[in-house]
Structure formats: structure tokens, C-alpha cells
Amino acid sequence: MAVRVGKASDLQPGRIAGFLVDGKSVAVANVDARYFAFDDICTHRGCRLSEGPLEGIIVTCPCHASQFDVTNGGVVTGPATVAQDTFQVEIVGDELWVSTDAKPSPPAAETATSLLAQVALFAGLDSAALESLEAFTFRRRFGAKEVIVEEGRTGNGLYVVLSGRVEVVKGLGSATRQTVALLGPGEPFGEMALLGDWRRSASVVALEETECLGMDRWAFLTHLNRQPQLAIRILQLLAERLAKTNEKLIE
Ligand code: FES
């Protein structure tokens, strides 16, 4: 998942800034209003590249002057011999979002079963249980900027992003609009709408042409009616998550 690291307008052209993203040191460079993210820790001996100068697309390590191409992390000049990892960076409004998630996009042939296994609500279900759910899934395409889920409305069910990217946003269309998360392939949203008629806490908008795997609540609940063992297993999973949440609250 992408993490918001700061405002794009705070990073002027020709400058680099260092951030901590999911426990990893990441540098973001502004090259003529194009933003590039890469591992902040030099592959030579671990100095911070964000403390070195940036000229065009070349950053120079402040310790032993290795140079790297910020657009692809490649070594331009040694002593370093290993390229820097690069990461996805995205601008939403004026917010900079960086993802260190190396998870590749799921290939088109990936089964609904393997995608459902990535949904927290189903984590721990065996493959037979997941396969029994696959029959209730459907695929749906959304155009860029299309609203998939609307805040305040009751939701019909779960989606998993197959391709493209979506923005989870609170206050869509208002002056207080705030991006909560950016989700890409393999990432689910709306799982709790499978279980109840609750209002959505945020809107979800397609940032580009996006395809999702979906599952409607009525189909899911009908299936649970026929499969009490599955319903009991899901109750146990929810109870385990509740217990973990309680433990964290006590800590
Ligand atoms: S630590 Fe970067 S060049 Fe040596």
C-alpha cells in the first residue's frame, strides 16, 4: 500500500528529501516536477543519498561520490556497483505518496481464489472454502475518475483491485477532501460491507482505467446460510481479529 510522505510543493525542483516508508529509508527527488523515489541508503557503504547533490537525474553520494540515475536507480559512476532499488511515487492533489510494495501486479490468469486469499476477512480459510466463494465473484471495469463506492451510502460488498489504481478519499467533492489511501492490484476494499448494511466510511475513486473482482453481500450471505461451517470459521476469524485489537488497545 502507498504511504503519504508529505506535500509535493515542499520539495522544490532539483531537491531530494528522505522519508521513512514502512520502516524503509526512501529518498524522493524532484527533477523538473517529475518525482522519483529510490532507496535512500547507498549500496556502497550505506550513506544517505538524500544528503548528496542532485544534478539533473544524477544523485551523487556524499561519502565516496558514487553516482546513480534517480529514474531507474542504475549506477552511473562507482565505487558502487549495485543499483539502488526504486519505488513507485504518485502525486494526488499536492500530496506525495510512495509505495515500497514490491508485489507485482497479478497476472490476468490469477484465479479469484488466490485473490480472495489476500482479503483479511478470508485469511486462514482453506483452499476448498475459498474455491466455494469463487462462484459468487464477478469482474467489473471502471473508467478513470469513476466513483466506485460513495461515502455515506450503504455498500453492496467487497472489491479487490485486479488492475489499475484507486483512491480512498474522505469528503469527496468538499473543501476538506482528504486522501486516506491509494490501492493497487491485489488490494481489497469494502470487506465489512459483505457482512452488514453499514454506511461506507469513505469514497473510492478509480484513478485510471481499473478492473476489480467483486462479491455482492446477498450472494455471500446466501452462501453462508448454506455453509454453516464456513460461517463459523469466519466468525472465529473475526473474533481473533477483535481479540488482537483489544490486546493492542490494552498495550
Ligand atoms: S557510501 Fe555511497 S559511495 Fe560509498
Average pLDDT of span 75-101: 84
Q: How close is the Cα of 155 to the center of ligand 1, in Å?
A: 52
pLDDT of 227-248, one tens digit each?
Answer: 777 778 777 777 777 777 777 6
Architecture of domain 3-99: 3-layer Sandwich (2.102)
Model pLDDT, residue 251: 67
Contact (Cβ atoms closer than 8 angstroms) between residue 166 and residue 183? yes
Transcribe 101-163 into DSSP letters: --PPPPPTT--HHHHHTTSGGGTT--HHHHHHHHTTEEEEEE-TT-EEE-TTSBP-EEEEEEE
Cis check for the bond before 107: say yes or no (omega within 30 of 0).
Answer: no
User: Rounded to an integer, what distance in angstroms lies between the CA atom of residue 16 and that of residue 126?
Assistant: 46
Whether 3-99 shares its CATH topology with 112-250 is answered: no
- The pLDDT value recorded for residue 78 is 83
Indicate the domain borders of the chain: 3-99, 112-250
CA of 56 to the centre of ligand 1 (A): 19
For residue 142, pLDDT beyond 50: yes
Closest to 137 in 3D by CA, of 114, 154, 155 = 114
Please report, rounded to a whole number, the percentage of residues in the chain having pLDDT higher than 70. 95
Of residues 178 and 48, more confidently modeled: 48
Task: Give the tens place of pLDDT for each residue, 32-41.
Answer: 888 889 999 9
pTM of the model: 0.56
Report the SS3 class of residue 210.
Answer: strand
| Residues within a 6 A CB radius of ligand 1 | 42, 44-47, 61, 63-64, 66, 79-80
* Ligand 1 atom closest to Cα of residue 45: 1
The correct CATH number of 112-250 out of 1.20.120.1200, 3.10.450.50, 3.40.50.300, 2.60.120.10 is 2.60.120.10
Evaluate if residue 86 carries a pLDDT over 50: yes
Ligand 1, atom 1, lies closest to the CA of: 45
